[in-house]
Amino acid sequence: MLAWFGLTFGVIFFAREMANMTFFGWPLSFYMAAQGLALAYLLIVAVYTWQMRKIDRRHQDDVQSDNR
Beta bridge partners of 22: 27
Supply the pLDDT for residue 36: 82
Q: Number of structural domains, the chain?
A: 1
Q: Count Cβ neighbours within 10 Å for each residue of 32-64 and write b for 16 or more, e otherwise.
A: beeebbeebeeeeeeeeeeeeeeeeeeeeeeee
pLDDT tens digits for range 12-44: 888 888 888 887 888 888 877 878 888 999 999
Per the structure, the complete domain to which residue 58 belongs is given by 2-67
Residue that wins the pLDDT comparison between 51 and 25: 51
Banded pLDDT at 46 (limits 50, 70, 90)? very high
pTM for the model: 0.68
